[in-house]
Structure 1
Amino acid sequence: MGSIGVNESRPVGSYPPSGIDVLIVGTGLAGLTASIECVRKGHNVRVLERNATINTAAPPSFFKHWPEMSAEFDEISLHNAWIETFKHSGEQMIAPLLVSDRLRDAGLDPDTPPGTFQMRPLVYKMFVNQVQRLGVEVQFGKRVVDYFEDAETGRAGVVTDQGDRYDADIVIAADGERTHKHINSPPEAFEVRAMSSGRAMWRAAFPREYILKHPEVREFFKMAGPNEDQPIIRTWLGPGTYAMTLSRADTMIWIMNHDVTGSEEENWNHTVEADEVLTNMDKGVGPQPWAPIFKELIKLTPPETIINFELFWRNPQPSWASPGGRVIEIGDAAHSFLPASGNGATQAIEDAISIASCLQLCGGRENVAEAVRAHVRFRFVRNSCAQKLGFSNAELLQDTDWSKVKLDPRKAQPKLPSWVWGHDPEVYAHEHYAQCVASIRAGVPFDKDDSFPPNYPLATSTSPGASRPSWTTSAPGAPFS
Structure 2
Amino acid sequence: MGSLSDNDCKPVGSYPPSGIDVLIVGTGLAGLTASIECVRKGHNVRVLERHDDINTAGDMYFMGHSATKFFRHWPELSREYEAISMNNAWIETFKHDGERVITPLKVAERLRQAGMDPNTPPGAFQMRPLIYRMYLNEVQRQGIKIDFGQRVVDYWEDEERQKAGVVTAKGDRFEADVVIAADGVGSKCQKLVGGQVRAMSAGRAMWRAAFPIHHLDKNPELKKFLKMGGPNEDEPMVRTWLGPGTYAMVLIRKETCVWIMNHDITGSEEESWVHTVEWPDVLNNMDKGLGDRPWDPRIKELVKVIPPKTIVNFELFWRNPQPSWTSKGARVVLMGDAAHSFLPASGNGATQAIEDAVSLATCLQIGGKQNISEAVRTHVRFRFIRCACAQKMGFANAELLQHPDWSKVKVNPKLAQPKLPSWIWKHDPEQYAYENYEKMADTIRKGIPFDEVDTVPPNYPPGYKYESWNIDDMQKEVDNGTVDMGGGNWD
TM-score interval w.r.t. the shorter chain? over 0.9
Q: Distance in 2 between matches of 1:314 and 1:459?
A: 25
SS in 2 for 1:316: coil
Q: Distance in 2 between matches of 1:254 and 1:7?
A: 43
- Whether the 8 Å CA contact 1:99–1:115 is kept in 2: the answer is no
After superposing the two structures, state which structure 1 stretch, 157-166 or 30-39, moved more. Answer: 157-166
- Equivalent residue, structure 1, for 2:376: 372
- Equivalent residue, structure 2, for 1:295: 300
> What runs of 5+ residues in structure 1 fail to find an aligned partner?
461-466, 472-481
CA deviation vs aligned residue, 1:107-147 (integer Å, no higher than 9, x gap): 11111233633222211221111111111010001000111
Alignment of 1:323-472 (within 5 A): 323-364=328-369, 366-459=370-463, 467-469=465-467
Q: Distance in 1 between matches of 2:19 and 2:437?
A: 19
CA RMSD after TM alignment: 1.6
SS in 2 for 1:72: helix
**Equivalent of residue 260 in structure 2, options 246, 252, 255:** 255
Q: Distance in 1 between matches of 2:350 and 2:53?
A: 21
Q: Do the aligned partners of residues 60 and 181 (structure 1) sit closer, same or farther apart at CA in structure 2, a change above 3 Å counting? A: closer
**Equivalent of residue 113 in structure 2, options 76, 100, 105:** 105
Alignment of 1:6-405 (within 5 A): 8-56=8-56, 57=63, 59-114=67-122, 116-179=124-187, 182-184=190-192, 190-364=195-369, 366-405=370-409
User: Structure 2: which amino acid aligns with 1:260?
Assistant: I
Q: Distance in 1 between matches of 2:8 and 2:371?
A: 25
> Percent of pairs identical after alignment?
66
Q: Do the aligned partners of residues 442 and 93 (structure 1) sit closer, same or farther apart at CA in structure 2, a change above 3 Å counting? A: same
Deviation of 1:62 after TM superposition, in Å, equals 0.9
Deviation of 1:183 after TM superposition, in Å, equals 4.4
User: Structure 2: which amino acid aligns with 1:26?
Assistant: G
Q: Distance in 2 between matches of 1:438 and 1:292?
A: 60
- Whether the 8 Å CA contact 1:239–1:286 is kept in 2: the answer is no
Q: Distance in 2 between matches of 1:192 and 1:283?
A: 31
Q: Distance in 1 between matches of 2:276 and 2:249?
A: 18
Deviation of 1:286 after TM superposition, in Å, equals 2.4
Q: Distance in 2 between matches of 1:319 and 1:26?
A: 19
User: Structure 2: which amino acid aligns with 1:38?
Assistant: C
- Whether the 8 Å CA contact 1:193–1:314 is kept in 2: the answer is yes
After superposing the two structures, state which structure 1 stretch, 437-446 or 270-279, moved more. Answer: 437-446
User: Structure 2: which amino acid aligns with 1:392?
Assistant: A
**TM-score where L is the length of structure 1:** 0.93
Q: Distance in 1 between matches of 2:122 and 2:129?
A: 19
- Whether the 8 Å CA contact 2:179–2:331 is kept in 1: the answer is yes
SS in 1 for 2:125: coil
Q: Distance in 2 between matches of 1:411 and 1:438?
A: 42
Q: Distance in 2 between matches of 1:419 and 1:50?
A: 35
CA deviation vs aligned residue, 1:57-92 (integer Å, no higher than 9, x gap): 252321111011111111111113111111111111
> What runs of 5+ residues in structure 2 fail to find an aligned partner?
57-62, 470-491
Deviation of 1:181 after TM superposition, in Å, equals 5.6
User: Structure 2: which amino acid aligns with 1:151?
Assistant: E
User: Structure 1: which amino acid aligns with 2:100?
Assistant: Q
User: Structure 2: which amino acid aligns with 1:99?
Assistant: V
